[in-house]
Each structure stands twice: as structure tokens, then as C-alpha cells.
A and B are shown apart, each in its own frame.
Chain A
Amino acid sequence: MSVARGLAWLDVLRGAQVRDALVDAMVEDTGVSRAMACWGLERLLARADASSLENIAARGDLQGQRAAVALATSVATAPLRTVLVLVLRGAREIALGVREGSSRTARVLARLSDAGADLVRVTCAVEDTGVWLAREVTAGAGCVVVFGGDARVARLRGGVPSGVRFEGHGHGMGGAWVGQETLGDWERVRALAWDFAAFDGVGCLSPERVWVEGSVADCVVAAERIGRAMAAWEGEMARGVLSAEWRVRERAWRAQTAAGAVSFVGERAWSVAVTERPVAAMGARNVLVHPAESTESPESLRGEGRGGAAQWFGAHREVFTTVVGDAGTWGALEGALGGCHARRSVPGEAQDPALDGEADPRPSVR
């Protein structure tokens, strides 16, 4: 039943006119290029194979339920993916809460309700997302999904009563953890760079930094290689348009980072900085590279103990972390990440996850 509804949704999404409308909406919502929005949509549709749909539908954990989804301001394929997965899990009605003037993508989805999939409703929760969610729960929503930074997720999670399923999406930190074997292979370096370039580095699953096994000098070499790959991606799929305010912030961020960095390479639409200090990430194809003693040592991820780790992973540690890594390093990573729920990816697929892949997000029932 839910597979049939999911397939119906997919048919709607695959229509040429709908695809154009969604791509336009994603460009407007996120500032990514049209080519990038097309890539995101194509990959999502490609991931929706029969086996994935069956696997998700088999969970059947939302049969007949209402779901409330609080979207972040700027999201690309997240509403599409979320609606599809919720439908497959059995949700009968989905409310998308967005800010006034944001998420044109969600509005396109709501309009599609007239095209045979009458289950998505969009509300502009301008007054207060927490108030809106409380209203949705009172109205019978059995599942609450929240997108955003970990502070927002933690805040909204606190207002959800027990017995209601809560799922948080976003990232406190997304990082790549690579050894010399990856850095020595140009194709893998290119794939790694794509993880930072995709969705212009502002996606929910975008990694922000790379830990490189080795010395600072190794990092400098790695940064140059990653920089070459970023430049190549810029040639193939250029960064979208940043608002003037974001450009100002980016310039300040680059100046701050470069002032304390061991090395800094960059062009207008990308940069790679090597730094030993924990600096906040910028995104937008600005990559941070940090040295790590060993991929075998979780301690090297922690910096200056737990306090250091909190700086990397976000103060609340509510939200899962995207980890790009060589398969052999994942065990060590999970140890280092402690209570943080990590989602694994091989280089090049951080922002192209399987639809029925590892739990995203960490499910919880309050």
C-alpha cells in the first residue's frame, strides 16, 4: 500500500513540468546552480529503486499517522526525500512548517497534492516553530521531524511530549577522515572534493572539514591536492550565487582563517585552509584541513579532550554527523564520536546517500 503511494509520488516528481518547477524552487531556496539542483533531484530519483522503497515500506512504523516536519530556511532535496520516506513508512498526512518567504520547494510539493497525491500541507510557521509543532502534535501528529542546527533541534526536541516520535536532521559537524591511501589516489581525492562541492557545501549532509592522517606538512600537501580537485569541480559545476551578505561573511571568514592557518589556497568560489586550531566552518566550498595523529586513534579526533570535541561536534550533540572515511577508519571514528550518531559514507557519496541507508536521523521516541 505505502509502496504504491510512494511510487505514485515518484511518478509525479518525474514529470517534466514538476521537475522544472522543483529545480527552479531549489535554485531559489538555496542559491545553488541549476545544474547542481538537477544533479540533486536526479540522484534522489535514482536512489528510489524498487528495493529501497520496499525496505523503507517494510518499516511501516507510521501507518496511518500524521507527521509534522519543521524545515530549515534553506533546504534543497530534503523536503522531497522526507515526504517520500514518510509516505513509504505509512504516513497519511504530512505538514511541512516553513518560514514565511522560504522553501519554495515545499510549496511546490504542496501544490502537487492536486496531482493525485493529496497528503502534503504547507504552513508558514512564522510566529514560532515550537508553537506550530505543539499545535500539530495536539492535532494528532505522531511523528515530528526537525531540520536545522543542533541547537534548534535540541530546543524543539525539548518541546515534544513523550510518546511522539522525534527525528532530528542537520549536522553539528560533518567531517571527512582520510588516510594517505585516499590522498594518493587522484580519483578518490576528486570524490572527496565532490563531497564538499556538492550543494555548494551548504547541504544538510555537507562535510565541513577533513582530518588528514599525518603531520601538518602532510596536510599542506593534501590541501593542495584537494584544492586542485575543488578547482576542477568549479570548472565542471560552478558554485551558485552567494548573496552579497554571504560574500562579506565569507571574506571575513577567509581572512580570519588564513591569519591563523598554516596554509591557505583558494579562488573566488572555493578555498582550502590547513589549521591546527578548531575554527568554525563556513561551508560554501570552503574546506578546513586538520592534522590527525592516526586514523587508529580516536583521541586525535578529540583535540583537547571532551571540551575540544564539543567544539567540533556541536555543543548539544543531538544531531548525527556525516563522516566520510576510508572503510577501515570507521571503527576508530565511532569510538571518537562517542554519543554522537555518525552516518558513514565513502568519499564522493556524502550527499548522495541511499534512500534506505543508515539511519538518518537517529530515531527516537519520547
Chain B
Amino acid sequence: MSDSEGRALWAAVERMIAAFVRRGSSGEDFEALTLRALRWQRAQCPALDRALAAVTLSSKPIETYGALVGLPVEVFASARIACFLPEQTQRTFLTSGTTGDVRGAHAFASLGLYEQGALAMGSRYLLTAPRYALVYLAEAPEANPHSSLSAMLEMFAARQALEFADESGALWGIREGALAAEVVREALVRACAGTRPVALLGASFAFVHLWDALGEGWRCALPAGSVVMPTGGFKGRSRVLAMSDFFDEITERFGVARADIVQEYGMTELSSQAYEAHREGVAPGRYVTPPWMRIEAVDLETLEVLPQGQQGLLRVVDLANLGSCVVLQTADLGVVHADGVEVLGRMRGAAPRGCARAVDAMLSEGRG
């Protein structure tokens, strides 16, 4: 962030993340910070300003948190939503898309906040053991630098490598556009013979491709403390599984309990993630957010925030999204409960999306 306001906002979010890590409070006023960040972003990014003005039908700034509206995430597919110059771009993540789709692009001048937030949330809700054998059903970032999922998984691996000098790194199970099923199988068999817990993380549909490749009867028993994170659901796939069936298959195939399966709610257009926190007593299927992120259900018509327990369209306020837009309107339906957010799926008529869809398309093509 090149100007003083941008730097001040960045520092405020860093303080929030740091406080979360030490389980303390940063004292930052979330709502005031949101309005301040959005005002700054609209001044930096004319496309964002025009888009929000078209939604609010007003060019006036949003003065109160109650009047907040989110930028529809679809805008990332049609305009550069970035609060910095194109030549300052360090990394761009692309949304999934099949042939003919226009893919959304989320540009970053720095992944600093993204990384701090992802590591803080990951170690709180996902990778809670000191050390894991990391098996990823995803492409390595070198092979797919535009995948936000790959980038986040690489951050987890890099931190573990930093903490344990003898760490050999993660195993990336998707190579040259195809699932390296035998390599994954060998890694899992090897891990099952040891005691180090496994973190098996990747796009949901890659799990299905793995099972298809390994055959109906293939099973293993992951060591105690292992965790499985499928992300992305089955929207618009060639094969659709009910989530309950999917979880049953994970528990059966990998010898883990439902409590060892942790789902993540994130998207390319965001910089932060929400996680299931059932290992901390929250009901499964409900996502918790860090202090710098809020997920709210809004009325489809008025966009006003709904009371807890009412179904609405999910709006995400993500203060780590300082380089683009801190308030995003998704097309996901959900319900906010006292202990977390329940995601019900895409609104009727909305195009399926999600990183797992890209993996599915790629693997399906690979299989001819």
C-alpha cells in the first residue's frame, strides 16, 4: 500500500491477525475499519467505485455499516478490481472456469496479509498438530501459479518446512493436469505405516477421482491426529455426491472420523478463509471466521443484514482483502447462527463456481 492511509489500514489488519494468534484482542473497531477501508478502496479503484455506485444507484460514499453493500464477486471476471497499479502486481489468482467461461482475476501487490491470515486460521482450526505428512490433491504452485488453493497449501508447507529443518515438503498429487493416483496411494500407504499424522487436503472432486482411480475396495487407516480437508463441493460436476455420502466415503476410505474432516469456506476473490470448528465444539457444517472477517446473510431484495437464523445471501467482509475490495457479495445462500455460518449452496440460477470445479474439468479431460 503506497499511501499513508493504505499503510495504516494494512497495519491495523496485521494487528488483528497478531492478536488472534496470541488469542488476545487488537482493540480495532471492525465496522469503522470496514467503512474506512472501503472508502479508501473506492478512491483507489475507479472500477470498484463505478460498480458499487451501480449497485447502490448513488455515487455518494457509504457512511454507515448498516448501509453497506458488497461488490458482486462476478465483477472480478469483467474488471480489474485492484487498489494498486498493474505493474505492482505480484500474483494473480484466477477463478475456476471451463472452456468458454470468463474467469475472474484477483490481483495482489502483496500476499503478506493473505499469508498471515491463512497461517493463523489454518493452525487454529485445521493443522492443529505440530507436524504433518502433507498430501495435497492439488497442483503445485509452480504448475498452477493462478490457483489460490495451491498458494494457500504451499504456505502451510513452507511454514512446516521452516519449523522443521528436516521437512521434505508436501506431496502434490495433481501433476501435469492429471491425478497421480499411484503416487498418492504410495504416500498414503507409507504414512499409514508411521505415526506422523497426515493432512490430506485438496479439492473435493479430486477425492472422487482418487477413489475412482484406486478402485472400490481400496482403504487405508491414516494415523491418529490426521486431518482431511476437501474444499469446493460438487457444483456443476460430472458426478454429484451428497455431502453426507462424501463424508461417509472419506471416513471409510481413510479410517478417520467425521471430526477429522474439516471443511473450509473460501474463494479466489477473498484473502481469508472460514473453517468448520467442530473440533472446538461448534456444530459440524458451520463455519467460523477470524476477527478480521465476517460473513453475514443479507436479504435478497434489500441487501439488509438479516437476523441470526434467517436464510439469506451471504456477504463477506474480509479486511485482509485490502488490495481489492473488503466487502463482497456472493451468490451463496446461507444462515448465520450464533456459533457459525451454515452455507446452503448457490442461489437458484447462479452459475456453479469454485476451485474444485476446475480440478474436475482438468481431471475429466485427462481421463479422456
Contacts and interface: CB of A to CB of B under 8 A. Distances in A.
Interface in B69-83: 71-72, 74-75, 77-79, 81
Contact of A259 (B75, B347, B348, B350): B75
B362 interface: no
Interface of A: 244-249, 251-261, 264, 266-268, 271, 279
Contact of A268 (B47, B51, B57): B57
B344 interface: no
A259 B45 CA distance: 10
B53 A251 contact: no
Interface string B324-368: 000001010000000000000001111000000000000000000
A255 B54 contact: yes
Contacts of A251: 55, 72, 329
Interface in B31-48: 47-48
B52 interface: yes
B74 A255 contact: yes
B210 interface: no
B349 to A, nearest CB: 5
Nearest 7 pairs between A and B by C-beta? A258-B54, A259-B79, A252-B72, A244-B300, A259-B51, A255-B51, A259-B47
A246 B300 CA distance: 10
Nearest to B45: A259
Contacts of A261: 50
A256 B75 contact: yes
Identify which of B47, B51, B331, B348 gathers the most chain A CB atoms within 10 Å of its CB.
B51
A111 B15 CA distance: 70
Contacts of A252: 72, 74-75, 329, 331
Decide if the interface of chain A is mainly helix, strand, loop or mixed: helix
A248 B300 contact: yes
Decide if the interface of chain B is mainly helix, strand, loop or mixed: mixed
A45 B57 CA distance: 39
B71 A267 contact: no
A247 B72 CA distance: 12
B12 interface: no
Given A255-B71, A259-B75, A264 B54 contact: yes
A245 B54 contact: no
Contacts of A245: 300, 347-349
A259 B75 CA distance: 7
Given A244-B300, A264-B50, 19 more contacts: A247-B301, A248-B300, A248-B313, A248-B331, A252-B74, A255-B51, A255-B54, A255-B55, A255-B74, A255-B75, A256-B51, A258-B51, A258-B53, A259-B47, A259-B54, A259-B81, A260-B47, A267-B57, A279-B78
Contacts of A264: 50, 53-54
B50 to A, nearest CB: 5
Identify which of B48, B54, B71, B77 gathers the most chain A CB atoms within 10 Å of its CB.
B54
B57 A247 contact: no
B128 to A, nearest CB: 37
B300 A266 contact: no
B57 A258 contact: no
Nearest to A264: B54
Contacts of A271: 54
Nearest to B74: A252
Nearest to B300: A244
B50 A256 contact: no
Contacts of B313: 248
Contacts of A248: 300, 313, 331, 347, 350
A255 B52 contact: yes
A249 B57 contact: no
Contacts of B74: 252-253, 255-256
A115 to B, nearest CB: 37
Given A245-B347, A248-B347, A252-B74, A257 B47 contact: no
A340 to B, nearest CB: 20
A249 B349 contact: yes
B192 to A, nearest CB: 46
Contact of B72 (A244, A246, A256, A266): A256
A255 B300 contact: no
B54 A244 contact: no
A254 B55 CA distance: 7
B269 to A, nearest CB: 13
Contacts of B47: 259-260
